[in-house]
Amino acid sequence: MIFFGKARSANKVQHLISLCRALLSERGEVSGGRLASEVIAAYQSLGAQAVQDFFDRLVTEFSPDPGAVQAAAKAYLEKPSEGHLAQLQAAADPPRQELFRRWNMAPGGIGVLIQMRRTLLGTLKAHPERVHLDSDLLHLFRSWFNRGFLILRRIDWGTPAVILERLIEYEAVHQIQGWRDLRRRLEADRRCYAFFHPALPDEPLIFIEAALTRGMTSDVKPLIDPQSPVADPGAADTAMFYSITNCQEGLRGVSFGNSLIKQVVEDLGREFRRLRTFATLSPIPGFRVWLVATDPQWDSLDPASASQAKRRELTALCARYLLQAKREKEPLDAVERFHLANGASLERVNWMADPSPAGVKRSFGFMTNYVYRLDDVEKNHEAYAREYRVVASRGIERLAAR
Amino acid sequence: MIFFGKARSANKVQHLISLCRALLSERGEVSGGRLASEVIAAYQSLGAQAVQDFFDRLVTEFSPDPGAVQAAAKAYLEKPSEGHLAQLQAAADPPRQELFRRWNMAPGGIGVLIQMRRTLLGTLKAHPERVHLDSDLLHLFRSWFNRGFLILRRIDWGTPAVILERLIEYEAVHQIQGWRDLRRRLEADRRCYAFFHPALPDEPLIFIEAALTRGMTSDVKPLIDPQSPVADPGAADTAMFYSITNCQEGLRGVSFGNSLIKQVVEDLGREFRRLRTFATLSPIPGFRVWLVATDPQWDSLDPASASQAKRRELTALCARYLLQAKREKEPLDAVERFHLANGASLERVNWMADPSPAGVKRSFGFMTNYVYRLDDVEKNHEAYAREYRVVASRGIERLAAR
Amino acid sequence: MIFFGKARSANKVQHLISLCRALLSERGEVSGGRLASEVIAAYQSLGAQAVQDFFDRLVTEFSPDPGAVQAAAKAYLEKPSEGHLAQLQAAADPPRQELFRRWNMAPGGIGVLIQMRRTLLGTLKAHPERVHLDSDLLHLFRSWFNRGFLILRRIDWGTPAVILERLIEYEAVHQIQGWRDLRRRLEADRRCYAFFHPALPDEPLIFIEAALTRGMTSDVKPLIDPQSPVADPGAADTAMFYSITNCQEGLRGVSFGNSLIKQVVEDLGREFRRLRTFATLSPIPGFRVWLVATDPQWDSLDPASASQAKRRELTALCARYLLQAKREKEPLDAVERFHLANGASLERVNWMADPSPAGVKRSFGFMTNYVYRLDDVEKNHEAYAREYRVVASRGIERLAAR
Amino acid sequence: MIFFGKARSANKVQHLISLCRALLSERGEVSGGRLASEVIAAYQSLGAQAVQDFFDRLVTEFSPDPGAVQAAAKAYLEKPSEGHLAQLQAAADPPRQELFRRWNMAPGGIGVLIQMRRTLLGTLKAHPERVHLDSDLLHLFRSWFNRGFLILRRIDWGTPAVILERLIEYEAVHQIQGWRDLRRRLEADRRCYAFFHPALPDEPLIFIEAALTRGMTSDVKPLIDPQSPVADPGAADTAMFYSITNCQEGLRGVSFGNSLIKQVVEDLGREFRRLRTFATLSPIPGFRVWLVATDPQWDSLDPASASQAKRRELTALCARYLLQAKREKEPLDAVERFHLANGASLERVNWMADPSPAGVKRSFGFMTNYVYRLDDVEKNHEAYAREYRVVASRGIERLAAR
């Protein structure tokens, strides 16, 4: 019985491989749409093990032919002409790239490819040989999800439920507790924007949540409290970005966040002429691990009952972590790297900004404000890109210097 | 003065090249949108000669680095590992591909790239070294204008004028004589469909015009006569495709026609359940040239005054041309190759179907009907793909056998 | 303090009345939009008591002037010319109708009028003199919410949340238990349609819920169970309408239900060609009251534990109620009147179709199937309109005859 | 033969009348949609004479019943109660109003009613008894085409051709010479807006054309010249309204112009913050007639060759015409009445602003600028509404005083 199952599964993989070959052949050009649909249906009918087998065969059978690459490499070395270069490129080009392009001829093809890569990513550790298969998919996605093709849409209570449901599902930074919570996050004093791709109209790729406030917020609670009163957006002078979420694990490595923030800052600035400050209230994911590794006694600290002195000490250490803890030349903190590379500056460290158990566990409840000043974004970015300079406020620098 | 102009022009090209380098650098990731806009503006400000210079520099400065390719080729030949293969691919990958991807980060980037390739195509004869630059653009366009991203839209009198205007401009097979003529072609007994790309919402990529008729038409006049009475589409049993036009010269080599015909045949079949026949009334662009080359005396024939005997003889020769005149193994006639490769069959040869001077000059006024039978399309296509078999009706075979 | 409050409230009413007069004056024609906005804002700022005062003044001050009506009536009686008739009509026409028409010049005016009538309806018992004020609003609404202006929209999971939220709020027949329940009611084997007015794009006026099933359902549970498996809609032969809800209390008396059912039956018939039966599963709101009034001993019956004999007896009584219990010449049951007047026929009586406490309390758990047969709808309707004939199946007639 | 034709025509009218009665009956409530469609089809099949007969029967058979009105009038005079008033209103209400409301239950009903009134208007002179039938239609249209239901849409080159075609057809002030001329009027330095009703999405009700200019234009030529260069709209300080056209003759008496101008002034002011002046360049339709009536010798004047003195004299007379020529208390000039009632002021008189033969024939080539100053509109309007005050610039007053 089990044996039979394996045999059927092997048959299914074999069938799928044959369809893939047909799709890649010349016949694929005319019957592309139909063949691609069959390929996709065949792939989707595979069990978990069969998917693994299919990945293996994509690696072994749809990679460049080593013999052909060697021949082309030799020819090029003998005579490095344009013609030989073209032959070398063609020989080195993995057939599966073209294969995946043709999958996309079927309706929904692109969604299936994203799901497939998501599955693939989970197997890379155990199967390092699949890293090139992964690169091929990533290469395609970078080309297809190019900024020029993306559509920025505002998300509000008039957005289709099918999309809102995804937001509830995907939000990773501050979980959305059902429809009521979501509704609060879409009220008049909030803004939510997402990037979409035209071929995936119901699938947000990334979304950002902002609150329109008076002054820069140092405490996450009012931002995510479903019961908080709705403020007058016309009176706001600050846009607080309190959450940014990548939705498609299968698109890991295609970066959207930077474009999204820049676009939203521009749009909000146009809509609300009184907005002066665009700031985040961001987690500090690496602080606790770093601190405890430095000095294990901190592990037992409960910030809720910490003394004033401890609090001051810890705040200085947090500033030091942000300014001085490095991974090679870059800051150790991943969120910090993201915002600095986008051109933000480090503005403020906030004690007990996220007093939830998760917040305490992550960083003793600390959160940071990064600020996007339109006039400085480019300059900051370049300083960071050139020399990994961390642009920070005087306050933080003083704290770290204590 | 001229010298000064050249200097300014050289400066402009140099400035554009610098912008391109910046866009390709890491800085480009953050400031991509703005830089890409500058690149595009700089490109669009170039004069004709400067564009030529820019093409040259794209060839010389944004091609793969021969030294790097050679080193990677050597490393691969010594040890053909996956890692070395990846290095070789990276070295052989032309930087300008990534450059063009980043152009697209600016609004309108893709349209400018299409225009640029259009210009480039016109220079290839004189500059064969630019063929690889052209391949890089084509490669990108094939990936971006993948069927999965295209949108089929019906064109009718409710379509925005900005799109209709393009149809008037682009129609190549049977010129549209202004808005009145166009309106007739969009009446109830006609259908027009076009493919669009979401990033170019006002630019048709290809469009097809069909007339809903009773019986297969053998004469193009009633189809393109703006004064012809509007028939009842519900009574039609045949859809006559009388024109199919590729709109974007800059997308030459990205094939849309086959997908378009198949999709339209399916959609029409669903909308009008009484439709039995899907046929074209197509020109025979190569007939006259071929015939006159075979026997120069035909050149002086005026079909309007030809005798019955001449007419019979010419018809047989036309059938023979379609069935027997070859370019290697394929039919000599380009339109024939297109429809046969799509799975159509050769149905009928029509005497004086296009009596216009252009029609007579092209093919003594002959036109062909190709027929798309849904059940046979795949079979025909494969017969053609495998062995270039020309599937033709008995009538045509008999004519050719005379 | 209270006195002061009253004074302010009286001022507010007085101010609103002045604005209404200005809006009705010639000045209102030019500054209509702005004045109407002020009127609406003033109305919305009124407290509960002030609204009552405002209603009183609409009755006393914006009704036809009795003196003018009398004069016109006399003139007409003296000489019943067309001119005198026109004068009489003008004099008898209540100024508040024109006033309300002008309220609508402001954005959102129509929504406020609907809310106002909703409030008014709740006061009619205590204020019978306001019945003419109510008639004026109803007259306007009948003209404005004419079928020709309504838009039928399918409601599904791609519908904006702002509309779906209203469905959850409004559904009266079988309460929707939150978003999860709603989502089930919008799956592939369900259909939901609503009428909208273009000036109120987010406000459903009426909606109907249907399940696509095999065979006519006699039990409401599977239809409203959020956990029920999703069936294949392509295999369905029956559309079960299990809920129809009027959303706008303020539009009471404007009937939408009949148009909605007819349109949905047509649309579903076109989409699913295998659908044969269009039926409801409807409550019998008046059965228990009628039965207990006839024979009080029934009041203590628990249908869940009833004997076979009791069950049979009760079923026969239910059939008799539907066929024989009358209010003058019409059936006593309101739901029955609605469906028969629409042209449906009475098909089946279902024991314990709604075993919920509410269902048992209403009608001992009985529900009826009414059937809409496209060919009979008009005939049935006319039979009902002419002579209140109740078209019923043989089965029900036999039951009632026992 | 003719007799037979008449008989058939009479039959058709009789059949239509029967359908109208059925539609008005209770049966009409359920089968309204279908019956209304039949009514409309029957109406549309009538020949010209039959339409006249139908109008007659609408007058005689669908007017209020004089007996019923008399009875109700008597009852009211005896006891002027609310109940008797309601009866009187009901008796005086013409049944054809409800009939027309029900026509609208069919798709396209409203369009047919508008066409019908258009036909009717042409017969009123010969048939004064139909004036009340006309009033009933106008009353309905005023209610249905209430500002709150209208949609303002910008018209540009992205507008569907079906709508643009109507603009070409309808433009009355400065004829549009085909698609090329239209395209010029929709370029970047122009704006065109129209009101639509949701039930007639392809039918503009009224449209206005504006040019964005530097300074107030005194010459119509550059505004309507298809060859004029396109200016930079960002540099404009003035919006010149050079044409406003009512499209639907059948809606005569429903005024849209005032709302349209006010809305467009607001929208343009928001879009272009540098706009200071909103002005018209308007014809003076009554000037020549008035002047020649005053002094017949002017009739022979050719302004193209007029002396400086004549020109000065004529200009002063034109100012006098605008300020002093009256029809009762209002200005004699219809265009002047329209703009003053809207709150504009009379700014300038322009010699040879429209040198076309039509312009010379109408007003010796003179045109006026009316100016809409947002701050003064209401004040001006009230001054006009109260006392027909003509608000004019000093310059014009001085001219008139000469």
pLDDT tens-place string over residues D169-208: 998 778 899 999 999 999 999 999 999 999 999 999 999 9
Amino acid B5: pLDDT: 63
First-to-last C-alpha distance (Å) of chain C: 70
Please say if the pLDDT value at position B1 is more than 50: no
**Residue B128 · residue B56 · CB < 8 Å:** no
Written as one letter, the residue type at A335 is V
- The chains found to touch C (3+ Cβ pairs under 8 angstroms) are A, D
3-class DSSP state of C52:
helix
Amino acid D30: pLDDT: 59
Q: State the best of C166, C179, C203 to mutate against chain A, taking most chain A CBs within 10 Å.
A: C179
Query: In chain C, which residues have their Cβ closer than 8 Å to the Cβ of D23?
Result: none
Could you tell me what percent of chain A has a pLDDT over 90?
A: 76
3-class DSSP state of A240:
strand
Length of chain C (residues): 402
Per-residue pLDDT tens over the stretch C186-234: 999 999 999 999 999 999 999 999 999 999 999 989 999 999 999 999 9
3-class DSSP state of C18:
helix
- The chains found to touch A (3+ Cβ pairs under 8 angstroms) are B, C
Q: D256-280 burial by CB neighbour count: b if 16+ within 10 A, else e?
A: bbbbbbbbbbeebeeebeebebbbb
CA distance C194 to C167: 10
Q: What is the mean pLDDT of chain C?
A: 92
Distances from the Cα of B318 to the Cαs of B100, B284, B325, B366, in angstroms? 46, 9, 10, 8
Please say if the pLDDT value at position A27 is more than 80: no
Contact criterion met (CB < 8 Å) for B161 and D159: yes
CA distance B342 to C197: 48
Please say if the pLDDT value at position A30 is more than 70: no
Contact criterion met (CB < 8 Å) for C69 and D88: yes
Report, as an integer, the average pLDDT of A294-302: 91
Closest residue in D to C254 (Cα–Cα): D29
Written as one letter, the residue type at C286 is G
Task: Name, in order, each residue with C-beta under 8 angstroms of D66's C-beta and a sequence gap of 6 or more.
Answer: C80, C85
| Pick from B298, B316, B275: nearest CA to B364 | B298
Query: In chain A, which residues have their Cβ closer than 8 Å to the Cβ of C153?
Result: none
Could you tell me what percent of chain A has a pLDDT over 70?
A: 97
Domain boundaries, chain D: 2-144, 150-400
The residue assigned the tokens 């064109």 is: B155
Per-residue pLDDT tens over the stretch A70-91: 999 999 999 999 889 999 999 9
CA distance C334 to C332: 6
CA distance A366 to A348: 10
Tokens for C87?
């004068």
Closest residue in D to C105 (Cα–Cα): D148
Per-residue pLDDT tens over the stretch B98-123: 999 999 988 889 999 999 999 999 99
3-class DSSP state of D209:
strand
Amino acid D323: pLDDT: 96
CA distance B248 to B207: 11
Query: In chain A, which residues have their Cβ closer than 8 Å to the Cβ of C157?
Result: 160-162, 165
Task: Name, in order, each residue with C-beta under 8 angstroms of B114's C-beta and a sequence gap of 6 or more.
Answer: B141, B248, B250, B251
**Residue C230 · residue C187 · CB < 8 Å:** yes
CA distance C18 to C11: 10
Contact criterion met (CB < 8 Å) for C179 and A160: no
Q: Which of B27, B66, B382 sits opposite A27 (nearest CB)?
A: B382
- The chains found to touch D (3+ Cβ pairs under 8 angstroms) are B, C
Phi-psi region of D212 (alpha: psi -120 to 50; beta: other; left: phi over 0): beta
**Separation in Å, CA of C92 to nearest CA in chain D:** 6
* Interface predicted TM-score (ipTM): 0.89
**Residue A259 · residue A216 · CB < 8 Å:** no
To the nearest 10°, the Cα dihedral for A129, A130, A135, A140?
150
Please say if the pLDDT value at position C2 is more than 50: no
Query: In chain A, which residues have their Cβ closer than 8 Å to the Cβ of C180?
Result: none
Could you tell me what percent of chain B has a pLDDT over 70?
A: 97
Span of B29-33, D30-34, D133-137, D168-172 with lowest mean pLDDT: B29-33
**Residue D332 · residue D326 · CB < 8 Å:** yes
Distances from the Cα of C162 to the Cαs of A333, C167, C192, D101, in angstroms? 40, 9, 16, 31
Superfamily, domain C150-400: Malonyl-CoA decarboxylase, catalytic domain (3.40.630.150)
Per-residue pLDDT tens over the stretch A231-261: 999 999 999 999 999 999 999 989 888 889 9
* pLDDT tier for residue D5 given thresholds of 50, 70 and 90: low
* pLDDT tier for residue B386 given thresholds of 50, 70 and 90: confident
Report, as an integer, the average pLDDT of D210-215: 96
Tell how many helices (H) and how many strands (E) occur in chain D. Answer: 18, 9
**Separation in Å, CA of D199 to nearest CA in chain B:** 16
**Residue B100 · residue B116 · CB < 8 Å:** no
CA distance B23 to B99: 7
Task: Name, in order, each residue with C-beta under 8 angstroms of A169's C-beta and a sequence gap of 6 or more.
Answer: none
Query: In chain D, which residues have their Cβ closer than 8 Å to the Cβ of B180?
Result: none
Contact criterion met (CB < 8 Å) for B165 and D158: no
Q: Which of B110, B147, B385 sits opposite A105 (nearest CB)?
A: B147
Per-residue pLDDT tens over the stretch C258-290: 889 989 998 999 889 899 899 999 999 999 999
Contact criterion met (CB < 8 Å) for D29 and C104: no
Q: What are phi and psi of C356, to 5 degrees?
A: -65, 155
Is it true that domain C2-144 has CATH number 3.90.1200.10?
A: no
**Residue C266 · residue C226 · CB < 8 Å:** no
DSSP state of B154: E
pTM of the model: 0.91
CA C214, C216, C222, C223 torsion-angle sign? positive
CA distance B31 to C225: 53
Closest residue in B to D201 (Cα–Cα): B158
**Residue D168 · residue D184 · CB < 8 Å:** no
Please say if the pLDDT value at position B79 is more than 60: yes
**Separation in Å, CA of A164 to nearest CA in chain C:** 8
